């Protein structure tokens, strides 16, 4: 029997993760993170989510505690998110939350309190390799979350459990219904937890000094104007406010001059990209590997040389600040962030 600290977000996946660990005979404690102190109607930061986690813990008969990491969340997740948009990048706050909060602060506290493992409801698996434990895709391809955990290496995975990784989402819900958990049919959150649904522009506008600028085509001709680069991301087609007779996509954002460049779909294609903060968590067994640059995107064959990714065939451009995860089959062997 192991002592396990389960991070319970108030959703069905972490609820079932706790139940599975309890069934396996472990000494389970549930913890919910208080991260965002402002308004929220999604994610794991609303009052109702904390209450759902507490009620599920009570149903299971396990202790439940709330850890208040709101100051650190502001510094490590919210502030970098705002800064990224102000710089023309497109960040992934869920990745930074996993890196600094869940597998940073919570893992550190669990070790300090003599827990053997931390656990979450992520749809991913931990497999054994010659180089130690490795992260692998979850059993349900449509719900796989290994992409947002790409930074976890053998040291973190050796004291981590991912109980629902072997289950499909429908199997998770079936298990929750069998146990009559209040979260069994709760809808999933697909939004940034600290921004109300549909409120990204208002959230950023309150925190970024907006600068108007030109919208130009691929030849540098001015075709429109905007009132802030934080309203745009690479690959965006809707809401450009540009009428040029054919579909145009955002192909570049220059923060220094507040210039947004638009172009046809072919202008988005690239054969290589440069990364920063590259981390290999496993040595790949084969080359080329595949790289994934969206949470549920289609992996693309590529080679990685230092900080450069070279695609086997041209791929749509990836926004600076986004994660590129490396895969050797189903095993995630690291990744990095797209450089400017």
193 carries an active-site annotation = yes
Of 163, 152, 158, the C-alpha closest to 132 is 158
Q: N- to C-terminal Cα distance for the chain? A: 48
Between β-strands 27-34 and 3-7, what pairing exists: parallel, antiparallel or unpaired?
A: parallel
In the chain, count H helices and then E strands.
Answer: 9, 17
For residue 95, give every residue at least 6 positions away whose Cβ sits within 8 Å of its Cβ, in sequence order, or none.
148, 150, 151, 323
Catalytic one among 44, 193, 332, 333? 193
92 by Cβ neighbours in 10 Å (0-12 / 13-18 / 19+) ranks as: buried
How many other β-carbons are positioned within 10 Å of the β-carbon of residue 338?
21
- DSSP helix, strand, coil percent of the chain (3-state; round to 5): 30, 30, 40
Between the alpha carbon of residue 210 and those of residues 38, 78, 202, 204, 315, the distances in Å are 22, 18, 11, 9, 31
How many other β-carbons are positioned within 10 Å of the β-carbon of residue 119?
27
Catalytic one among 97, 159, 332, 333? 97
- DSSP letter string over 5-45? EEE--SSHHHHHHHHHHHHTT-EEEEEEEE---S--SSTT-
What are phi and psi for residue 232, nearest 5 degrees? -125, 155
User: What distance in Å separates the CA atoms of residue 240 and residue 260, rounded to the nearest whole number?
Assistant: 10
44 carries an active-site annotation = no
- DSSP letter string over 227-284? S-GGG--TT--TT-----SS--EEEEEETTTTEEEEE-GGGGEEEEEEEEEEEESS--
Helix (H) or strand (E) holding 335: strand 331-338
Active centre residues (catalytic): 97, 193
């Amino acid at each position: 029997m192991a002592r396990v600290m389960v991070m319970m977000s108030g959703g069905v996946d972490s609820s079932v993760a706790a139940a599975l660990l309890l069934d396996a005979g472990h000494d389970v404690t549930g913890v919910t993170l208080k991260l965002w102190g402002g308004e929220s109607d999604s994610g794991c930061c609303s009052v109702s989510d904390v209450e759902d986690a507490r009620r599920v813990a009570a149903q299971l008969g396990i202790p439940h505690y709330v850890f208040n990491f709101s100051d650190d969340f502001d510094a490590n997740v919210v502030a970098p998110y705002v800064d990224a948009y102000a710089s023309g990048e497109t960040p992934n706050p869920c990745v930074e939350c996993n890196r600094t909060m869940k597998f940073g602060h919570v893992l550190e506290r669990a070790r300090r309190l003599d827990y053997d493992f931390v656990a979450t409801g992520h749809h991913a698996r931990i497999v054994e390799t010659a180089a130690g434990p490795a992260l692998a895709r979850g059993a349900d391809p449509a719900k796989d979350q290994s992409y947002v955990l790409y930074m976890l290496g053998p040291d973190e995975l050796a004291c981590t459990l991912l109980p629902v990784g072997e289950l499909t989402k429908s199997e998770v819900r079936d298990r929750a219904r069998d146990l009559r958990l209040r979260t069994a049919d709760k809808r999933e959150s697909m939004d940034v937890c600290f921004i109300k649904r549909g409120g990204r522009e208002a959230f950023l506008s309150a925190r970024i000094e907006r600068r108007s600028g030109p919208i130009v085509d691929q030849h540098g001709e001015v075709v429109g104007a905007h009132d802030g680069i934080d309203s745009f991301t690479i690959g965006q087609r809707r809401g450009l406010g540009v009428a040029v007779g054919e579909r145009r996509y955002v192909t570049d954002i220059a923060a220094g001059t507040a210039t947004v460049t638009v172009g046809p779909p072919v202008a988005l294609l690239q054969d290589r990209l440069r990364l920063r903060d590259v981390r290999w968590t496993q040595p790949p067994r084969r080359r080329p590997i595949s790289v994934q640059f969206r949470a549920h995107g289609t992996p693309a064959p590529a080679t990685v040389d230092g900080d450069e990714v070279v695609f086997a065939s041209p791929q749509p451009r990836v926004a600076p600040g986004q994660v590129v995860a490396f895969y050797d089959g189903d095993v995630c062997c690291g990744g990095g962030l797209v450089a400017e």
